[in-house]
Structure 1
Amino acid sequence: MPQYELNLRDYLRIFHKRKFTIIITFLLVTTGSIFFSPKPPPPIYKTSTTVKIEQRKTIAGLLTEWIVYSPGDAMASQTNIIKGFQIMKNVALRLGMINDNSPTPEIHKVVSGLQSSIETERIERTNLIKITASADNAKQAMDLAETVASVYIEASLLEKTRQFRSARQFIEEQLSILGSRLEEAEDRLSEFEDKINKNDEVKEVKEADEIDEAMNMKLL
């Protein structure tokens, strides 16, 4: 079977006959590559800040820790508290993402989104916790990180104040109980002393009577 080599004129003739098919195919391939090719993910900005967990070194602070039982690693607990529902809800309120009248499903949705945007970790061998916020732009990430830190610090101060008041109330109650017991003990001691004094008086009178009786017998 004879073979023919296609020259430039043959290619032009083929293109002329099938130009519409070629053009449509080219457009379909180009359009498909534009609409169906994977788009690059949007950039994610991250900003970090740190908060310091103050250790109670005063006698009142140690007494508060003894009265207010807190099991487990305190630093690990604080990292969880920062990402907890209440802190994230207060952050959303402060940033205007929700308000007091927002429906519960919306609140939970916003809080869940914030929790996924926040990372917390303890800086090794320190009492510092690193808070990292992620957002679509740098300013949002910075505002989110700073707001989380601010809300957590305020909540921590309120909790410490509450614990201090609880410890103070406990101490006052114990002092009141001890005071009542001391008064009861003093009353019992006073009663006992009165009995002893009365017994001594009776004994002295009896001895005096015996002496008088003995002297009278001698006189007789």
Structure 2
Amino acid sequence: MDYLTAEVNEKDSVEYWDNFYREIKIQHESNFCLLIKSMSTDQSVILDIGCGSGRDAFSFAKDGYEVVGIDRSKQAISANKTMKNHPKFKNLNIEFNVVDLGNVRKLNDIIIAVIQRTKKQNKSVIVYVRFLLHSINERTEQILLDTLSANLQKGDQFAAEFRTIEDEGRNKVYDNHYRRFIDADHLLDKLVTKYDFSPILFEKGTGLSIFNNEDPFLGRIVVEKN
């Protein structure tokens, strides 16, 4: 698939995700969220990029993390802001913003704002991207990684869970939207050699995020900025 076709397909999926978050509510946290919490402390600020329904963002916040969730779906962010105003969530240290990753200036501005806030508190940033990378094309991924690499400070982390090339032929519960399958080994190599991160965790396989009758083949990467 060429860049132009992929870019069109990715943008076409915005309406799909608005409808998805309008109709489907998944509120329990993911296994990847539990893993990252087991590897970190609430002295880290979570920047949840592609936060979707907010399931993991709220889970981090309920455990004491400061959380900033961003997504390009206005429907998802609107729903999350409404939920944040519920009495049981209103005291959480969490905020949500609509950000299209293709908007370099807005993405850069919010990353800088989060980093500046955390450094004043002597905290580090964990950029959390679950099921995001395979939903964006390579050009948008490059914008994201370039922007993160240019701004993250030593000790900040990037944590990603995504569908790999091994997952392409496997059963999908939701299979009517743009999806890209990622070479996990190549991505890790790029993060280390091009973007100056050091690996903390790398794994791939099945059994990581079973949903109904779907057991996707996923990659998990956690790296730290040098």
**TM-score tier after normalising by the smaller chain length:** under 0.3
TM-score (norm 1): 0.24
Structure that is richer in strand per residue:
2
TM-score (norm 2): 0.24
Structure that is richer in helix per residue:
1
Larger radius of gyration: 1
Does 1 or 2 have the higher relative contact order (CA < 8 Å, sep 6+)? 1
